[in-house]
């Protein structure tokens, strides 16, 4: 009989301890999990703590206190080298993962270095996978060179099983034909309220204002309404589909994207407060769009569509019949994503649920980490 | 820099090559996959072929031909020992998985032996996980003793991400409150046709007959209408929820299950043909149930419910309002499963899509196999 496999721990470096990062460390501190991980490094934007320094002591109960007392800079540029030396010197060959909980482009640029040092990368940060193709290529090649993985379930739909489901479909040989869905929790909420099968709210600007008050939007609501977040998610999924792998050279900027930000409010000098103040001037525009939809027995939904045969990838405001799942089943800030494939045809595989929030995003990150153990 | 991880192959023993087994071997034969697996053993109910015998040669292109020419019996009772010796002698430590594509209870009884020999078990066969608790306990303990895994995504919802999603929710510390869904593709089709928001078919027996003709039912439709398949799936999911882990001592027989088979047709002497012949005698009964639902603005759905707080696990015919997702979103033989949890609240995480069929079931098995590489 074979003997029991030695239990390994996953070494962790956690970059960013905002809402998602703090929640992740809280989830990791659960008794059933804490013993399976070893916290090696934690940083916020100003400071860092590490267990690799002579006096270093770090665990899931003391990281916050230690970080608050630290004067060491994050020094993230040195991190791939420092952690790489640690990995090389670990005779027990415990796996190592860096978790990037920031939305920083500069942290994303470090992923190839981590991967080439044999360190897995797990993140809800969309930047690396939705920017220029060369960065994505570098990440894929770096991962292949050492076998270290990059996992990013939480970049699309937070904790919902979207990225892994698409990977499973593709890897098992299904042919993806079309992916269509409501990918933005913010835009889901706004259009569920503004344009429901039962009528909806009167003024678009009022709905946006309430969404802002509820904490559903970015500080500047234009950052949701411009569709860039949806375009980023479409880029991430498209790159997992073999025939679209190389189609978006400039990443999300290559996606055909309808911005809902009125032309007059697009300048970089327009603050979030300015935006909300002037949005009512455009209520009649959105009202007209809704009326047009209603004449056709439809509602408005801001969706992302990947049409594989046509090679069309777009983020756009579309009309859906009032008995369509996007009209009837959605509520709150739900995401809904439908995978139309050769096997799932004529009816798609659908995943639906909250697609934003710290608890479900951290859960997406943590489920990726558990795959590495 | 760390060097590239040596690429490992997953050794495979495939028991059962009916619809699902053949489809699995077809999917495995894809060029992108075949090199990652090595086929070591294949059996049907009468014969087997193995690459471990002196003249053995076996791959994804020749298994069928070799199996047809074989006179060797399956001899499955010897398989744990034979494969165990192979695993022990493999200096390269390639992982090994047995895939059970049967629905046999006797094959299920072998799982603990495979696991104790360090061999992973992957299967769409519900028997082992939905029968008596002692067998499940033995499987869990055997797995823990060697680290060999048992993966059974395809036992619930075929290729849909149901089992892994529940595992992720539980492992990351979410609190599951309630799971509710349409778990049987056959009963989904029957009630989508018989009781739709737009009215539905007049005669229950006609719908069942058509379902049988379309190949959606078991040879004896009573084997679907008795609810046992739903009860088995509920048992499998319940055992993944810590507080319900030990609650179903006799497995699916412990689940509160409403059988839709009329009392008079329950005897073991009633054949499938008898059943279909006499079912029209009971059309008025089902018609009455539908009328009662319609008076409340509801439709009938055969669902499974796991209420964690109440400890209630039931398979039953229930009424759902005509605007409920179970009424509006379902079509064909779709499954839909809603996870109500602490994090996914007040709105659940929902997974929906075809929950039966060889292609999607094999896909569920294959995605489990890919996790082992």
Rg (CA), chain B: 22
Q: What's the mean per-residue pLDDT of chain B?
A: 94
- For the stretch B294-326, pLDDT in tens is 999 999 999 999 999 999 999 999 999 998 999
Q: How far is A286 from chain B (nearest CA, A)?
A: 27
Residues 8-37 of B with CB under 8 A from A: 27, 30, 32-33
Please confirm, yes or no, whether B233 is among the known catalytic residues.
yes
Q: Is B20 annotated as a binding residue?
A: yes
**Which pLDDT score is estimated for B52?**
84
| pLDDT tens per residue, range B318-352 | 999 998 999 988 888 899 999 999 999 999 999 99
Structure tokens at A201: 């709210």
Is B215 within any annotated ligand binding site?
no
- Cβ-in-10-Å burial (0-12, 13-18, 19+) of B96 comes to buried
Contacts of B323 in chain A (CB under 8 A): 328
Q: How far is A9 from chain B (nearest CA, A)?
A: 14
β-bridge partners, B122: B99, B151
Residue ranges of domains in chain A, CATH in brackets: 10-158+360-371 (3.40.50.720), 162-355 (3.30.360.10)
Contact A117 B2 (CB under 8 A): yes
What is the tens place of the pLDDT at every residue in A319-332? 999 989 999 889 88
Do the Cβ atoms of B328 and A331 come within 8 Å? no
Tell me which residues of chain A, numbers 273 to 332, contact chain B at a CB-CB cutoff of 8 Å.
323, 325, 328-329, 331-332
DSSP code string of B66-94 = HHHT------GGGHHHHHHHHHHT-TT--
SS3 A14: strand
Catalytic residue among A212, A233, A290, A319: A233
Tell me: the pLDDT tens digits for A167-209? Answer: 999 999 999 999 999 999 999 999 999 999 988 898 999 999 9
Give residues 210 to 269 of A whose Cβ lies within 8 Å of B. none
Over residues A282-292, the mean pLDDT reads: 97
pLDDT for A1 equals 43
- How far apart are alpha carbons A7 and A4 in whole angstroms? 9
Mutant choice from B89, B168, B241 vs A, greatest count of A C-beta within 10 A: B168
Catalytic residue among B113, B127, B212, B233: B233
pTM to 2 decimal places: 0.96
Q: How far is A82 from chain B (nearest CA, A)?
A: 12
ipTM of model over 0.85: yes
Q: What is the overall mean pLDDT for chain A? A: 94
Q: Give the list of residues 6+ apart from residue A199 with CB closer than 8 angstroms, or none.
A: none
């Amino acid at each position: 009989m074979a003997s029991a496999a030695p239990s390994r721990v996953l070494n962790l470096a956690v970059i960013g301890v905002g809402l998602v990062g703090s929640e992740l460390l809280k989830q990791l501190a659960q008794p059933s999990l804490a013993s399976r991980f070893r916290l090696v490094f934690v940083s916020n934007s100003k400071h860092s703590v590490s267990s690799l320094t002579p006096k270093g002591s770090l665990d899931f109960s003391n990281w916050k206190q230690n970080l608050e007392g630290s004067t060491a800079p994050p020094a993230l540029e040195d991190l791939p080298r420092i952690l790489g030396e640690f990995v090389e010197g670990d005779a027990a060959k415990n796996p190592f993962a860096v978790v990037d909980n920031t939305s920083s482009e500069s942290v994303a640029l470090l992923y190839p270095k981590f991967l080439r040092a044999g360190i897995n990368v797990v993140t809800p940060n969309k930047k690396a996978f939705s920017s220029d193709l060369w960065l994505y290529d570098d990440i894929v090649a770096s991962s292949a060179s050492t076998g270290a993985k990059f996992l990013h379930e939480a970049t699309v739909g937070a904790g919902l099983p979207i990225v892994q489901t698409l990977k499973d479909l593709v890897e098992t040989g299904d042919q993806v034909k079309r992916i269509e869905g409501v990918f933005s929790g913010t835009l889901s909420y706004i259009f569920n309220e503004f344009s429901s099968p039962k009528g909806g709210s009167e003024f678009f600007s009022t709905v946006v204002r309430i969404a802002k008050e509820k904490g559903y939007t970015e500080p500047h609501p234009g950052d949701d309404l411009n569709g860039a977040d949806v375009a980023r998610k479409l880029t991430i999924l498209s790159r997992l589909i073999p025939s679209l792998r190389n189609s978006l050279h400039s990443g999300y900027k290559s996606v055909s994207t309808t911005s809902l930000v009125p032309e007059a409010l697009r300048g970089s000098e327009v603050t979030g407060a300015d935006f909300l103040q002037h949005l009512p001037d455009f209520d009649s525009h959105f009202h007209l769009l809704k009326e047009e939809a209603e004449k056709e027995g439809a509602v408005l939904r801001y969706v992302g569509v990947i049409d594989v045969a046509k090679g069309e990838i777009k983020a756009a405001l579309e009309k859906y019949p009032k008995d369509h799942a996007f009209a009837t089943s959605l509520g709150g800030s739900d995401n809904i994503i439908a995978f139309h494939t050769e096997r799932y045809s004529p009816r798609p595989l659908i995943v639906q649920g909250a697609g934003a929030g710290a608890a479900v995003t951290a859960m997406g990150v943590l489920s990726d980490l558990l795959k590495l153990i």
